[in-house]
Amino acid sequence: MLTVDFARFPLAPGDRVLDLGCGAGRHAFECYRRGAHVVALDQDRDELRTVTGWLAAMREAGEAPPGASAVAVAGDALALPFPDDSFDAVIAAEILEHIPDDKGALAEAVRVLRPGGRLAVTVPRHGPERVCWALSDAYHEVEGGHVRIYRADELLDRLRGAGLTPYGTHHAHALHAPYWWLKCAMGVDNDTALPVRAYHKLLVWDITRRPLATRLAERALDPLIGKSFVAYATKPHEPARPGPGREAG
């Protein structure tokens, strides 16, 4: 289940891509399939072992084109272990809401992104997330949980403040918002409640089969209750400096 729309975030074979806070690796896998050189970075070593296993399985099955590469790396979003301008693209999907120093994390992402490169950021959308917080403290008051809720204009201001130029936004995963409202209302750890189990089956059907009915429903509902807000931005090229004997005009 992808949150980033690769029609709006195009990759070329051979692009260097950082999946920052990769989690289970969904975006890293897609970038690998598209022929990129992918680094999937996370602090959770258990997740990274799983991602490494899936990348090896993809390699074995020939799911990535020749020349593509992918590796899972442990690292801290506030101190990325890469030189400046290392990547053509950076993805930060559902990670900033977990980091107290989100400005520091964005600054690091911008540092390792080359001038002219693209950044995709996804966060929980303000309205649906407010409902979750109102229904359940346990939803967010856990170790490593969500520490803030972004408004769309606030996130875009964060991107501009980091020196980026936003070029597009959209919402995603409308069908997932009611599922989390049910979970929060009935207990975030309660997976046995009938409404939760029934809705989970619907989501599994949607993810595995992608029927026309759910695709049309999600497309119609995304602007209203899309669970995620997605923003795209570029890192501008630095302005040229005057050469010897010339003065800036």
Query: What tens digit of pLDDT does each residue of 72-109 get?
Result: 999 999 999 999 999 999 999 999 999 999 999 999 99
In a domain, 202, yes or no: yes
In a domain, 63, yes or no: no
Location of structure tokens 């989970």: 200
pTM confidence score: 0.93
Q: How many domains does the chain have?
A: 1
Instruction: Evaluate if residue 38 carries a pLDDT over 60.
Output: yes
In a domain, 56, yes or no: no
Residue 245, pLDDT score: 45
Q: What is the CATH number of the domain that holds 207?
A: 3.40.50.150
What pLDDT digit, counting tens, does each position of 173-189 carry? Answer: 999 999 999 999 999 99
In a domain, 200, yes or no: yes
Burial class of residue 242 in the structure, from the number of CB atoms within 10 Å of its CB (0-12 exposed, 13-18 middle, 19+ buried): exposed
